[in-house]
Amino acid sequence: MLLQKTLFSLAAVLAFVLAGCSEKPESRAPTTAEPGAASPAAEVADFVFTNGKVYTVDKEGSWAQAVAVRGDKIVYVGDNKGAESFVGNETEKIDLGGKLMLPGFVEGHFHTTTQGIILHGPDLQTDSMDELLAKLKKYADEHPDLKFINGWGVRPNIYGPGEPNAAMLDAVVPDRPVYLWQVDGHSAWVNSKAMEMAGLNKDTPDTVPGVSYFVRDDEGNPTGYIIEVPAQVEILNKFVTVDEDYIRGGMAKWFPEYSKAGITAVHDFGWAGVDQDMAIGILKDFEKDGTLGTRIYGSYYWNDASIDPVPIAKKMRDENQEGLVQVSALKINMDGDDDKYSGLYVDGYADKPDAKPEPIIPFDVINDAAVRADKEQLHLICHCFGDLAVRKFLDAVELAKKSNPEWDRRAVASHAQLVHPDDRPRFKELNATYDTTGQWFAFDPYTANVSPVRLGEARMKQLFPIKAMLEAGANVSLGSDFPAASYVADYKPLNAITVAVTRQMLGKPDMPILGGEDARLTVAEAIRANTYGAAYGIGVEDKIGSIEVGKKADLIVLDQNLFEIDPHDIYKANVIFTMMDGVVRYRDGL
């Protein structure tokens, strides 16, 4: 949620020209079938899966034994016997051996470009300073030839009440420059060698005094802690060139990881901090070379009242309607978050009743754009953190609905840490989706320490009301918001599902339950939210999100049956097979 501020002042001007048609990778078994032919050969499938426990996530929550895939489509779902007629000489037969098959995971809120800027080097997410330093040292030792050591995911809670400094890093890596991103992207931590090589010293002026600057000691010497993106980038640019190649390289290595986690589609909530043409161009290039293992449903991210987002979003949508990379939505940034008193709440802040944060974009400007965007049949989606932001977003959607002819609109209110009880039925009325991040549904150090102070105990019981939203008839969706985070940056749907069904942190079954037992989703509800529910929010539930004949062949197989194991252990299960668009994207042990 926090990274969505612009990271770089690269213009987001739109001048995208479609870069050719897409080609499919060649990893699929050839088929002898003639499309549309009436002979039995027409039924021959490229893949036939049998002996499975196939949880289809169709309307009835049906189970099946077997699935057949031809080309990019599912052509059969049923029992083993019925699958036999789809087997030909070239068919790859896969015996699931009783394993669980699910639709590929659809992420309801995701980002695909920020990784290219920030997520270089080791993931340093941990709650222990000793562990972080040990991880960093291990990485440095294993990469003796690296001239610059980059890392990410530093959690602010490990500093304790103090701040990090260069000496702490010097103790493990003294001889090469080290540059670490905090998990929320809003600060960096460097060692003395980095400061020396970057020429950062007492005489270096702050980049934006008071806003983006170098923390200093009593003598004015920078300590190694850098606040906010402009100053961070000033120093980062001394070591690497943050250009298209750098971003492309950083993004490329993540797609195999998403496949390994079973993700086959994402609702991309904004290519923040990069040129929009460049973002789409990189993703289309990955599609062309066959390395894009994930469908991307993108949006234009609007957080600046001086820009009219409608022509930009419309053009992006019009130019990207085919293939794996498509654009369908206008994302509106309604507010900030509770930590910085920038989230908008119906009942304000418990610890600062006078705080009256302004919306990032004035409500009348939002309403005007929402009506015009809806008229162009762009879906409206938002960053809406507090319950007042959710309410104002629903108001804008309602106004658009009243102002324009009916169409199959899908609105998504994302984050939605709180939804006022009065507004919960409105989601169903407006066909809006409640999307939020499973990984946040627990008393992690952020939720345990920041939110109770800002909101008070009564509202803490209402935090992330996904179960209540389901009961109010809303479509609900899970999306990790990766790599944005205030505490945990985690793209793995099995982790989100675990926390959604336990409302406790991973591996901590004895900790208090956020919102109590009644706030827990069932396993089936959580799986649906991370597949069909997210697809519905995008408006593509007729193509993906469940295992049904005629839908795209986006399938995963797991080594454990999530319905039969202790819900606290769901995150320990492994995805062992991922197919997207009929192509095997990941396979290990099947």
Q: Which residues bind Zn ion (CB under 5 A)?
A: 269, 481, 484
Question: Cα–Cα–Cα angle for 505, 511, 515, nearest 5°?
Answer: 80
As measured in angstroms, the least distance from the Cβ of 426 to Zn ion is 22
Beta-ladder partners of 149: 178
> DSSP letter at 42?
G
CA distance 329 to 517: 35
Q: How far apart are CA 504 and CA 58, in angstroms?
A: 28
Q: Please, which residue, 4 or 502, has the CB nearer to Zn ion? A: 4
Instruction: CB nearer to Zn ion: give 74 or 274.
Output: 274
What interhelical angle do 363-375 and 309-319 show, nearest 10? 30
Q: How many helices (H) and strands (E) does the chain have?
A: 20, 23
Are 497 and 439 in contact by the 8 Å Cβ rule? The answer is: no
Smallest gap from Cβ 107 to Zn ion, in A, equals: 11
Nearer to Zn ion, 65 or 414 (CB): 414
CB of 497 to Zn ion, least distance (A): 19
* Between 173 and 366, CB nearer to Zn ion: 366
- Minimum CB distance to Zn ion, residue 481 (Å): 4
Q: Which of 512, 579, 582, 588 has its CA nearest to residue 264?
A: 579
CB distance 282 to 247 below 8 Å: yes
**With contact defined as beta carbons under 8 Å apart, do 476 and 469 qualify?**
yes
Smallest distance, Zn ion to C-beta of residue 226, A: 23
Q: Decide whether 371 or 416 has the Cβ nearer to Zn ion.
A: 416
Residue 59 exposed, middle or buried by CB count within 10 Å (0-12, 13-18, 19+): exposed
Compute the C-alpha angle 558/563/564, nearest 5°. Answer: 95
Q: Give min distance, CB of 261 to Zn ion, in A.
A: 18
Cβ distance to Zn ion smaller for residue 484 or 538: 484
Q: Which is nearer to Zn ion, 484 or 514 (CB)?
A: 484
Nearest distance, CB of residue 581 and Zn ion, angstroms: 25
Under 8 Å between Cβ of 261 and 102: no
Minimal CA–CA distance to 319: which of 26, 521, 20, 528? 20
Location of structure tokens 């600062």? 352
| Minimum separation from the CB atom of position 580 to Zn ion (A) | 22
Nearer to Zn ion, 436 or 451 (CB): 436
Q: Which two tokens stand for residue 417?
A: 């840490």
